[in-house]
Every structure is written in structure tokens, then in C-alpha cells.
């Protein structure tokens, strides 16, 4: 099916109130990056539910911090009998997502402004499946138990919570690796890291235990990987994603004190050159963790 989506419109560079997201999602460049990243990650992971989850006929799904809503809309398209809701803290991104859904003629999806670090305005046992991707980009460690408890409240007995997270990628570029190291250090200083030393984000090793501690059963894992070396088909789209992320991450690096503006600019230029070199090699990995709410109250 072919469809048109609204073009991202320029927004004022103001972070949504209360947001801890390290990049300014109100900037048109970041919105466009997130739109492309939605498609890219879904394709690289092998589809919407490569682990094999299914939505029952007439099922209800909630997508946490849904961003521009690409994954959410695709679920609604492929499951027309389902009722799909996406929530995000940014009013402008929610407006974009609703416009995108209308442009695709999807009556079974809607997007609402909510902060997932706070209690969500849905009744108990509302959903068959709750999804979240890359929530660690704005979630401090002490917010995770509260969110997972809220997800358990919102799921029907037997419902599934499905979360996908990542650490930084692996490349042969010294400059890109330094950028990733600075990002991890900045996350640590901003209180957004599980890492003991700030060398990575640290969410992937702790996520399965967090689900078990929240009372989810049959917790499972599935790893995914995409190659974006210079001669790989996905090189250019990942390269573009990195360029925007590195550039928009500059204020975050400076604000947390892990690098000066001059150092970030120098690394950015070096990374551009190295990521376009013929011998550049890179992979990106994701970990999806899912668990089931017990059928009987625990």
C-alpha cells in the first residue's frame, strides 16, 4: 500500500516541559531523524513483532514514548481490528503522529500527550500488549520500577510488555567511538545510566531483571543486529542518522561537561570523514525483552 505522510514542519527549539530527552525533539532535524529511524529499526529487527507476539482480534495496544508514531501506525495498518494508542510527552510530535495517521486513513489509532514517567490516564487492565523502544534515552534508573509497575497495572491478565533497548554501536572509526564514549559519559552525568563507570548506558544487562522484579513472568530476550559498514546496504541511512544525532547531541555534551564545543566540532568532522571511508565497518545491536503479566493476581 502506498501512502503519503506529512512533512515534518519546523518547530521552535524548546524542549517539552519536564522532558529529560537529551536531544531537542522539537527541532525539525530530530523529528525527521526519528521518522526515518522508526522505519530503519523495524526493518533491521525483522518486522513489527519478530519475536512472535500476536494481538488478539479486537485487541488493544499501547506504545510508550511513541515519537512520530511510525511503528504505531504500522501496527494499526497491519491489525485493522486492533485499537492502538501511542503516547508521547511532546505535543508537537503527537500532533504530527495524529496527522500522519489521518493521512494514511487509519481510524484505529490515536496519539495522546502523556509523560510515561507519571501515572497514565487509562483504567486498569486496558491493554493486551504494551510496547516501548529506546526509553532509556530519557528514563533515569529510579523511574523504571514505577513505569514497569504502571505497565503491569495497565495490562490485562496474560498481557505482554515488550521493550527494546540498545547500547552504543560498534565501529572502526576512532572519532565515532569517541562520540559514543562521550554520549555514554554524558548520560551517566545526567543520571540516565545504569553503568557503574559511564562507559555505556547499561540498560540492556539489567532490563530482564527489572521485568522479573516488577512481577512479569516468562521473561525472554531476542537480540537483533544491523550492519552499516561502508559497503553495506544500510550504510547511508545509518550514516545520516549518526550525523544528525551527533550534531544535535552537542548541547547535551557541553551541558553535562563531558566535552567542549571545540572538541565536539572536531570529532564531528573527523567522524564524518571516517564513516565515509572505504574500509569503515560498523554494526548496531538491539535487545528486545518481553514478559507476561500473570493470569492470576500475584
Angle, helix 261-275 to helix 174-189, in steps of 10 degrees? 140
Q: Give helix then strand counts, H and E, for the chain.
A: 9, 8
- pLDDT value at residue 24: 72
**176-200: burial string, b at 16+ Cβ within 10 Å, e else:** bbbbbbbbbbbbbbbebbbbeebeb
Distance CA 12, CA 96 (A): 14
**Band of residue 176 on the pLDDT scale cut at 50, 70, 90:** very high
Give the DSSP letter of residue 48: S
Q: Tens of pLDDT along 72-98? A: 999 999 999 999 999 999 999 999 999
- SS3 of 269, please? helix
- Does 11 have pLDDT greater than 80? no
**Once rounded to an integer, what is the mean pLDDT over residues 116-134?**
97
Distance CA 131, CA 41 (A): 14
Distance CA 263, CA 259 (A): 6
Alpha-carbon dihedral sign for residues 194, 36, 91, 180: positive
Determine the length of the chain.
Answer: 298
Element (H, E) at 109: strand 109-113
Q: What are phi and psi for residue 102, nearest 5 degrees?
A: -65, -40
H-helix segments, 17-132: 28-45, 70-78, 91-103
- Does 1 have pLDDT greater than 90? no
What percentage of the chain reaches a pLDDT higher than 70?
A: 92
Strands 282-292 and 109-113: unpaired
Q: How far is CA 283 from CA 223, 234, 275, in A?
A: 13, 10, 12
Check residues 247 and 127 and name the one with the higher pLDDT. Answer: 127
Q: Tens of pLDDT along 202-254? A: 999 999 999 999 999 999 999 999 999 999 999 999 999 999 999 899 999 99
CATH for the stretch 28-292: 3.40.50.150
Give, in degrees to the nearest 5, the angle at Cα 212 between 211 and 218.
Answer: 100
**Once rounded to an integer, what is the mean pLDDT over residues 133-150?**
96
Angle, helix 28-45 to helix 235-248, in steps of 10 degrees? 140
- Does 3 have pLDDT greater than 70? no
- SS3 of 274, please? helix
**Once rounded to an integer, what is the mean pLDDT over residues 37-48?**
92
Closest CA to 57 of 30, 18, 88, 83: 83
Check residues 1 and 297 and name the one with the higher pLDDT. Answer: 297
- pLDDT value at residue 66: 96
Average pLDDT in the chain? 91
pTM over the 0.85 mark: yes
Amino acid at each position: 500500500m502506498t501512502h503519503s505522510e506529512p512533512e515534518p514542519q519546523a518547530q521552535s527549539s524548546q524542549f517539552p516541559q519536564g522532558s529529560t530527552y537529551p536531544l531537542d525533539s522539537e527541532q525539525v532535524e530530530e523529528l525527521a531523524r526519528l521518522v526515518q529511524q522508526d522505519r530503519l529499526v523495524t526493518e533491521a529487527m525483522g518486522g513489527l513483532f519478530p519475536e512472535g507476539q500476536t494481538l488478539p482480534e479486537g485487541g488493544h495496544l499501547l506504545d510508550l514514548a511513541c515519537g512520530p508514531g511510525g511503528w504505531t501506525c504500522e501496527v494499526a495498518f497491519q491489525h485493522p481490528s486492533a485499537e492502538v494508542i501511542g503516547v508521547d510527552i511532546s505535543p508537537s510530535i503527537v500532533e504530527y503522529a495524529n496527522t500522519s495517521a489521518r493521512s494514511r486513513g487509519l481510524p484505529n489509532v490515536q496519539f495522546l500527550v502523556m509523560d510515561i514517567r507519571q501515572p497514565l490516564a487509562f483504567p486498569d487492565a486496558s491493554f493486551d500488549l504494551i510496547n516501548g523502544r529506546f526509553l532509556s534515552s530519557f528514563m533515569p534508573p529510579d523511574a523504571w520500577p514505577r513505569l514497569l509497575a504502571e505497565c503491569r497495572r495497565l495490562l490485562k491478565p496474560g498481557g505482554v510488555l515488550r521493550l527494546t533497548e540498545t547500547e552504543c554501536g560498534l565501529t572502526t572509526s576512532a572519532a565515532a567511538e569517541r562520540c559514543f564514549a562521550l554520549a555514554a559519559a554524558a548520560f551517566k552525568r545526567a543520571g540516565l545510566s545504569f553503568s557503574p563507570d559511564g562507559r555505556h548506558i547499561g540498560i540492556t544487562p539489567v532490563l530482564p531483571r527489572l521485568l522479573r522484579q516488577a512481577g512479569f513472568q516468562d521473561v525472554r530476550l531476542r537480540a537483533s543486529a544491523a550492519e552499516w559498514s561502508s559497503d553495506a546496504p544500510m550504510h547511508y541511512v545509518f550514516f545520516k542518522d549518526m550525523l544528525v544525532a551527533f550534531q544535535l547531541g552537542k548541547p547535551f555534551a557541553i551541558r553535562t561537561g563531558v566535552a567542549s564545543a571545540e572538541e565536539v566540532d572536531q570529532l564531528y568532522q573527523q567522524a564524518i570523514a571516517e564513516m565515509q571511508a572505504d574500509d569503515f565497518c560498523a554494526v548496531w545491536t538491539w535487545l528486545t525483552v518481553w514478559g507476561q503479566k500473570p493470569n492470576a493476581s500475584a
